[in-house]
Structure formats: structure tokens, C-alpha cells
Amino acid sequence: MPECAAYLWRWFLRMSRRRSSGGFGLSPLTHPGIAAFFELSGIQPTPWEVEQIEKLDDLWLSIRAAKDDDKGKQHGKH
């Protein structure tokens, strides 16, 4: 990740550590959760920055789902 965007990754990681999960795995970050993070952190993000956090979350969840699928397939072979 370019250094100029590294702050977005740090924000995302902080938010992601507070994410909830349910019976079907990790839940996406919610808009209320994202808003609360920024409010509590005293950060006023631009709409573009919020969109990038949402894109990071979508990518994160898709990677995690693929890893979970791979684990399930490996366990099925035993």
C-alpha cells in the first residue's frame, strides 16, 4: 500500500478489531460502527475515505471467506 494511503489501512485495522461475527462468520463493518469510530476518534473523514474503508472491508471479507472455504475443503479430505 502506498505510504500516502497507509492511514486508511490503519483506520481499517482499528475498526476491524471491533467487528462482530455471527453464525456465518465475520460481519461487515456497519455504517453506524464506522461513524462511531470516526466520532470517537475525533476524525472527520471525507466521503472518499469512507468509501475506501468500505472497499477494504469488502476485500477483507472476500479473502477471509476464500480462506474459510479452503479450510473446509481441506477438512473434508481427511
Is 9 a residue whose pLDDT tops 90?
A: yes
What SS3 state is found at 32? helix
Angle of CA points 5, 16, 73, to nearest 5°: 110
Task: Answer whether residue 72 shows pLDDT above 80.
Answer: no
pTM for the complete prediction?
A: 0.81
* Tens-place pLDDT, residues 11-70: 999 999 999 887 778 899 999 999 999 999 999 999 999 999 999 999 999 998 898 777
Sign of CA dihedral 36, 29, 13, 11: negative
Domain ranges within the chain, ordered by starting residue = 3-18+27-77
